[in-house]
Amino acid sequence: MSQLSRAVPAVLVTACLATLLVIGAAPSAGDDLVTTDRWQLSVLRLRQAWPLSKGQGVLVAVLDTGVDGRHPDLAGAVVHGPDLTGTGRRQSRRGHHGTAMAALIAGRGHGEGHGVIGVAPAARVLSIRVTLEVGDPLRARGRSAGHDALARGIRYAADHGADVISMSLGGGGGSWRGSAAEQRAVRYAISRGAVLVASAGNDGATANRKNFPAAYPGVIAVGAVDRRLRVTRFSNRQGYLSVVAPGTGIVSADGRDSYRAGDGTSSAAAMVAGIAALIRAAHPDLPPHLVRRAIELGTTRRPATGHDSSYGHGVANALLALRRADLLAGTPTAPARPATRPAGRTAGSPPSRTPVVLGLVLLSAGMSARLIVRQGRRGRRSA
């Protein structure tokens, strides 16, 4: 979960989000409210990566507190799966943390350049509720989730076509120890071709405990860095850490129609899940271990030893990860398809062949003319 989150009214933060998270938006009043989010675009090199992939056709399962698909930045992007918390219809806060993570992965923004644009804005989100909000009264009474909720959520995601499974959670409720059911579920999902991503945890400055599901073999474990690309104090430092990503002052959606700014490895993990979606869209057949390898090799600030417990393999970078995926797949990434079709074409219609045919006709005519001239010259010489 995020170490720190503070709700911000939508009316106040929309202008800031337009400036900080949406390419091409003009600066506007109120930019001093949120000044820490522009950096994630350049760190991840999203401007350069998006022409290659935006996550088209990829389904990302968000195992969290639920996702509110009514948020304008997620309109049309969310498919709702089950609530596995066992709370039923009892009064329960829901959808704040999960909505924030979903927007960082696949937010589309809204209106004229407003709102949050996620790392993979063309991907879809499968919401599976496996835990309760930190401030939920039911959680405070010791009811954090249903029996084996995470394990069942992982299996549900794998069985329902999830290409990527994002788990920005951990800690408490036995997750410091993990479980056999969860480990089996992780292996099952990987065998079905899903890429699993999880937050490394936020108690790096204190107990620095092994955190599950990040610690399960095969899961991409993600820590957090600040704007200076230094590992944050709260980010857990462990030998299984894969990479680090932006995790301080991150603005995202919150609930139905507002926004939040927060710190934590949760946001970092969501962004790396977005990178996995970009790779999966570009190379649908690349197996999970090679997607993970592409992300780990496509980093900056790589430790001198190649890996350490603080940075993992380095700072995640969407463009470099896509390039590494190209090498691992043996096929270069084709540019992403434009969001709009040229005027005069209908959906699914093939590109016009007129320019090609015209070019061939002109080439044939030119070659015929050259042949006639040569034959004429030869005739004069023989005469």
Is 336 inside a domain boundary? no
Is 346 inside a domain boundary? no
| For residue 110, pLDDT beyond 80 | yes
Q: Which two tokens stand for residue 259?
A: 């926004």
**Domain match, 137 and 284 both:** yes
Strand residue runs (E) in 130-249: 164-167, 195-199, 220-225, 241-246
Q: Which two tokens stand for residue 373?
A: 């001239």
**Domain match, 217 and 360 both:** no
Helix (H/G/I), strand (E/B), else coil: 378: helix
Element (H, E) at 138: helix 137-140
String of b and e for 133-167 (b: at least 16 CB within 10 Å)?
Answer: bbebebbeeebbbbebbbbbbbbbbbeeebbbbbb
**Domain match, 86 and 209 both:** yes
Is 289 inside a domain boundary? yes
**Domain match, 183 and 94 both:** yes
**Domain match, 73 and 123 both:** yes
**Domain match, 325 and 356 both:** no
Contact (Cβ atoms closer than 8 angstroms) between residue 234 and residue 220: no
Q: Select the more confidently predicted residue: 255 or 192.
A: 192
- The pLDDT of residue 89 is 59
pLDDT 10s digits, 2-22: 544 444 433 333 323 332 333
Is 154 inside a domain boundary? yes
pLDDT 10s digits, 317-357: 999 999 999 999 998 988 886 644 333 333 333 344 444 44
Is 339 inside a domain boundary? no
Q: Select the more confidently predicted residue: 92 or 130.
A: 130
**Domain match, 162 and 126 both:** yes
Is 341 inside a domain boundary? no
| For residue 1, pLDDT beyond 60 | no
**Domain match, 101 and 214 both:** yes
Is 345 inside a domain boundary? no
**Domain match, 249 and 304 both:** yes
Is 264 inside a domain boundary? yes
Most confident of 128-132, 280-284, 354-358: 280-284
Residue with tokens 């955190």: 211
Q: Provide the residue range defining the domain that includes 371.
A: 351-383
Active-site annotation, residues: 64, 97, 266
Q: What is the largest CA-CA distance in the chain?
A: 109
Q: d(Cα 347, Cα 135) in Å, to the nearest integer?
A: 46
**Domain match, 369 and 290 both:** no
- The pLDDT of residue 14 is 31
Element (H, E) at 83: strand 78-83
**Domain match, 241 and 168 both:** yes
The whole-model pTM stands at 0.80
**Domain match, 188 and 310 both:** yes
Which of 299, 329, 359 lies at the terminal end of a domain, its last residue? 329
Residue 102: count other Cβ atoms within 10 Å of its Cβ.
35
